[in-house]
């Protein structure tokens, strides 16, 4: 297969505001375009890179493919509390299909829908979207089935996050629901629960094709299958392995190669004449290279940008004020393998809010993550995201923003590995005014980090209370096995740890060296921790926390018992966002020119 042209980002202009879309053109179009419709929430976040690879495979096979962020999600306009989101989502898919048909010249357009994306694509066709064929994977016939699954997941998450104080601030409010940090309002939930695809006949069923895929051995929705079989639709059933592997943690997500091959073969098999003859009214949505938005009445614009590297390019979205620009610029870095929208879309919300306050803010994918170039598969281990090459890429990002004429005093922010990169890039670059670190896993990466932390179980086993719990049976078998594994790991790691301590003794204190570098650059360090973070516990125990505070650096510990490294509970999101907003306001004060004195 020939290599397809590079993807192209744009915004579809709709009645609900700009819809972010990425087009994967085909070098040799075969006449069938594809709208790839994403699942919702955590499944969307985890599978994002795999679906990008899926789109590239489709394009390489001759199928121009468009991916889009639904209204109120990703980089599109709006938020989860907008009215009539179900209609906005359906209309966005219809607009993407009409635009793809016009843009690519393909006489036939198919929608490949995953989970909620499949339900929405089917609904769009039933309501007249210019889509000929449907491939549906893990798609329920009823919206209530989807909502019920989310409710069950949300309850499990709330229980895990509030393990020490069950229910603390994790309950649903005003009828809304949060699953893995992604919110559905009461109105959207009610609208989804009312959807029954079995009661939505497809127009002109003769000539339409539908592919229903199993989900890791679980048969496709029987209600939907029966409804389709009762029509003139050409229905195909096929295996669908790989769903679970696709929606696992983002750094381990795998493109479902067998399903991709099945879909490509189905698309090209004896394709009949189009059901939809050319673009159907309304006409295809116009597109724009930038999005114009309003945040609390303040106009801003968002622009997709690339950062050129020696090999390939990084990808990000820049939020900028249309009115007066502040003298600082912010960059929000990848959290592990999570794309540039950030954990639970937090980076989008922060970037837009800060841009409305005058601060240009870039949310960006580093190499191999999200929509950036580079291979994603080597990054299966946490250490992959703490590599020096990513610190180098942060420097390239700042150079690119400076070349665009943006302010050259920067605030870097990130969660987990993004926090680590902000910390180290700030030591290198005197242009960094502040490094905002949320739940950093470590300040200095070592491949032995996990073994060192496992060694804490050695200390725990020496406690009398631990033995009492063992005797009473209060410690589960799984936990007992975990403790003994930790002891074994700690013992095996002891020689190398002793060598590491001697090396550090000869080389000096890396924390003091880092703090000295930050002070030379006049860089403010801010660390935000939520409950249960191992680095916070270690720094409290060995005195590093107090040493950081003595340097006039800020360490903020979010109170409460909610435990979530990636901030899924809404109270944690709000508390962390409030701290980061405070720090942006602080940097605006620091950067403001002194008012002239009247003598």
Output the pLDDT for position 266.
Answer: 97
C-alpha–C-alpha distance, residues 268 and 21, integer Å: 24
As separate numbers, helices (DSSP H) first and strands (DSSP E) second, the chain gives 19, 20
Enumerate residues 6+ apart whose C-beta is below 8 A from 94. Answer: 124, 127, 128, 129, 130, 131
Identify the band that residue 451 occupies on the pLDDT scale cut at 50, 70 and 90: low
Q: What pLDDT, in 10s, does the model give residues 368-382?
A: 999 999 875 556 677
* Whether 61 and 120 share a structural domain: yes
Residue 3 located in a structural domain: no
Instruction: Write 247-250 long-range contacts (CB < 8 A, 24+).
Output: 247/39, 247/42, 247/43, 247/46, 247/47, 248/46, 249/46, 249/337, 250/45, 250/46, 250/48, 250/49, 250/336, 250/337, 250/338, 250/339
Of the listed ranges 3-12, 37-46, 205-214, 545-554, the least confidently predicted one is 3-12
Output the pLDDT for position 488.
Answer: 62
Q: What pLDDT, in 10s, does the model give residues 5-43?
A: 789 999 999 999 999 999 999 999 999 999 999 999 999
- Within a 10 A sphere around the Cβ of 79, how many other Cβ atoms? 16
Mean pLDDT estimate for the chain: 88
Identify the band that residue 486 occupies on the pLDDT scale cut at 50, 70 and 90: low
Residue 599 located in a structural domain: no
* Whether 422 and 544 share a structural domain: yes
Helix (H, G, I), strand (E, B) or coil at 120: helix
* Whether 394 and 328 share a structural domain: yes
* Whether 537 and 548 share a structural domain: yes
C-alpha–C-alpha distance, residues 571 and 374, integer Å: 35
210: left (phi over 0), alpha (psi -120 to 50) or beta: beta
Residue 255 located in a structural domain: yes
pLDDT at 454 over 60: no
Percent of the chain with pLDDT over 70: 83
Measured CA to CA in angstroms, residue 124 lies from 45, 91, 184, 405, 502 at distances of 23, 7, 20, 43, 65
Give the mean pLDDT of 393-400.
98
Does 446 or 33 have the greater pLDDT score? 33
Give the mean pLDDT of 47-58.
97
Give the pair of three-digit tokens for residue 171.
């309950």
Element (H, E) at 9: strand 8-14
* Whether 430 and 550 share a structural domain: yes
First to last CA, the chain: 76
Among 2-6, 104-108, 303-307, the range with the most confident prediction by mean pLDDT is 303-307
C-alpha–C-alpha distance, residues 588 and 324, integer Å: 13
- Omega of the bond leading into 282 within 30 degrees of 0 (cis): yes
pLDDT at 597 over 50: no
Scanning 441-533, the segments in alpha helix (DSSP H) are: 449-454, 456-461, 464-472, 477-507, 510-520
* Whether 308 and 281 share a structural domain: no
* Whether 96 and 153 share a structural domain: no
Output the pLDDT for position 375.
Answer: 74
Element (H, E) at 304: strand 298-308
Give the pair of three-digit tokens for residue 597.
């004195």
Residue 597 located in a structural domain: no
Give the pair of three-digit tokens for residue 551.
């340097």
Of the listed ranges 71-80, 260-269, 462-471, the least confidently predicted one is 462-471
Enumerate residues 6+ apart whose C-beta is below 8 A from 473. Answer: none
Picking from 253, 288, 323, the residue at the C-terminal end of a domain is 288
Residue 596 located in a structural domain: no
Enumerate residues 6+ apart whose C-beta is below 8 A from 77. Answer: 16, 17, 18, 19, 71, 291, 293
* Whether 99 and 219 share a structural domain: yes
The predicted model scores a pTM of 0.89
C-alpha–C-alpha distance, residues 98 and 129, integer Å: 8
Output the pLDDT for position 167.
Answer: 43
Residue 44 located in a structural domain: yes
344: left (phi over 0), alpha (psi -120 to 50) or beta: left
Instruction: Write 121-124 long-range contacts (CB < 8 A, 24+).
Output: 121/35, 121/37, 121/93, 122/197, 122/200, 122/202, 123/90, 123/195, 123/197, 123/200, 124/90, 124/91, 124/93, 124/94, 124/97
* Whether 318 and 274 share a structural domain: no
Identify the band that residue 274 occupies on the pLDDT scale cut at 50, 70 and 90: confident
Residue 453 located in a structural domain: yes
* Whether 469 and 415 share a structural domain: no
C-alpha–C-alpha distance, residues 140 and 349, integer Å: 30
Does 130 or 275 have the greater pLDDT score? 130
Of the listed ranges 204-208, 387-391, 433-437, 449-453, the least confidently predicted one is 449-453
Total count of domains within the chain: 4
Structural domain of 57: 8-142+195-288
**CB 98 within 8 Å of CB 280:** yes
**CB 395 within 8 Å of CB 428:** yes
Picking from 288, 317, 336, the residue at the C-terminal end of a domain is 288
Enumerate residues 6+ apart whose C-beta is below 8 A from 404. Answer: 305
Output the pLDDT for position 171.
Answer: 43
Output the pLDDT for position 506.
Answer: 45
Output the pLDDT for position 521.
Answer: 94
SS3 percent helix, strand, coil of the chain, rounded to 5, is: 45, 20, 40
Residue 551 located in a structural domain: yes
Picking from 267, 288, 309, the residue at the C-terminal end of a domain is 288
User: Which has the closest alpha carbon to 17: 54, 66, 69?
Assistant: 69
Give the mean pLDDT of 461-487.
60
Does 549 or 592 have the greater pLDDT score? 549
SS (H, E, C) 358-423: CCCEEEEECCCCCCCCCCCCCCCCHHHHHCHHHHHHHHHHHHHHHHCCCCCCEEEEEECHHHHHHH
* Whether 283 and 366 share a structural domain: no
Longest dimension (CA), the chain: 88
Output the pLDDT for position 592.
Answer: 79
Q: Tell me, what DSSP letter sits at residue 7? A: P
Instruction: Provide the β-strand partners of residue 111.
Output: 35, 134
- The CATH number given to whatever domain includes residue 138 is 3.40.50.1820
Of the listed ranges 56-60, 150-154, 264-268, the least confidently predicted one is 150-154
C-alpha–C-alpha distance, residues 303 and 314, integer Å: 14
- Exposure string of 508-538, with b = 16+ CB inside 10 Å and e = fewer, is eeebeebbeebeebebbbbbbbbbbbbbbeb
Output the pLDDT for position 281.
Answer: 45
Identify the band that residue 279 occupies on the pLDDT scale cut at 50, 70 and 90: very low
* Whether 200 and 84 share a structural domain: yes
**CB 278 within 8 Å of CB 109:** no
């Amino acid at each position: 297969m020939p290599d397809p042209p590079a993807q192209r980002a744009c915004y579809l202009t709709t009645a609900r505001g700009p819809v972010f879309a990425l087009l994967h053109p085909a070098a040799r179009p075969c006449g069938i375009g594809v709208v790839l419709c994403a699942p919702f929430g955590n499944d969307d976040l985890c599978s994002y890179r795999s679906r990008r690879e899926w789109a590239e495979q489709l394009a390489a096979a001759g199928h121009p493919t468009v991916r889009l962020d639904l209204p109120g999600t990703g980089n599109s306009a709006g938020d989860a509390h907008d009215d009539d989101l179900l209609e906005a989502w359906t209309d966005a898919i219809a607009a993407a299909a009409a635009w793809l048909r016009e843009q690519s010249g393909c006489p036939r357009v198919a929608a490949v829908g995953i989970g909620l994306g499949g339900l929405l694509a089917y609904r769009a066709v039933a309501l007249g979207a210019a889509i000929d064929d449907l491939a549906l994977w893990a798609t329920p016939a009823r919206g209530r089935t989807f909502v019920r699954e989310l409710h069950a997941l949300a309850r499990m998450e709330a229980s895990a996050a509030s393990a020490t104080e069950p229910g603390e601030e994790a309950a649903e409010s005003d009828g809304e629901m949060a699953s893995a940090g992604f919110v559905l309002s009461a109105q959207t939930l009610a609208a989804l629960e009312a959807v029954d695809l079995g009661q939505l006949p497809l127009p002109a069923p003769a000539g339409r094709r539908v592919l229903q895929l199993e989900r890791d051995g679980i048969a496709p929705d029987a209600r939907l299958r029966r409804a389709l079989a009762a029509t003139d639709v050409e229905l195909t059933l096929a295996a669908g392995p790989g769903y679970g592997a696709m929606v696992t943690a983002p750094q381990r997500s795998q493109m479902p190669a067998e399903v991709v091959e099945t879909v490509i073969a189905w698309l090209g098999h004896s394709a009949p004449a189009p059901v939809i003859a050319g673009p159907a009214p309304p006409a295809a949505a116009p597109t724009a290279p930038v999005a114009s938005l309003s945040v609390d009445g303040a106009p801003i614009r968002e622009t997709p940008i690339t950062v050129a590297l020696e090999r390939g390019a990084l990808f990000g979205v820049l939020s900028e004020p249309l009115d007066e620009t502040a003298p600082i610029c912010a960059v929000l870095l990848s959290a592990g393998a999570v794309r540039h929208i950030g954990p639970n879309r937090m980076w989008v919300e922060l970037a837009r809010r800060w841009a409305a306050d005058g601060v240009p803010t870039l949310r960006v994918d580093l190499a191999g993550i999200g929509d950036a170039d580079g291979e994603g598969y080597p990054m299966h281990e946490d250490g992959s995201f703490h590599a020096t090459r990513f610190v180098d890429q942060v420097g390239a990002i700042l150079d690119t923003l400076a070349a665009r004429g943006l302010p050259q005093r920067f605030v870097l922010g990130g969660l987990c590995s993004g926090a680590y990169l902000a910390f180290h890039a700030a030591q290198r670059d005197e242009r960094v005014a502040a490094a905002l670190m949320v739940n950093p896993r470590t300040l200095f990466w070592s491949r032995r980090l996990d073994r060192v932390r496992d060694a804490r179980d050695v200390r725990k086993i020496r406690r009398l209370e631990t033995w009492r719990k063992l005797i009473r049976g209060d410690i589960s078998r799984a936990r007992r096995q975990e403790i003994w594994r930790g002891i074994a790991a700690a013992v095996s790691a002891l020689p190398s740890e002793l060598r590491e301590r001697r090396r550090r003794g000869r080389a000096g204190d890396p924390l003091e060296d880092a703090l000295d570098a930050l002070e030379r650059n006049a860089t403010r360090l801010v660390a935000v921790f939520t409950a249960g973070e191992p680095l916070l516990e270690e720094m409290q125990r060995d005195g590093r926390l107090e040493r950081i505070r003595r340097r006039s650096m800020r360490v903020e510990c979010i109170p409460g018992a909610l435990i979530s490294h990636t901030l899924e509970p809404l109270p944690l999101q709000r508390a962390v966002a409030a701290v980061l907003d405070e720090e942006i306001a602080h940097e605006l004060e620091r950067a403001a020119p002194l008012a002239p004195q009247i003598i």
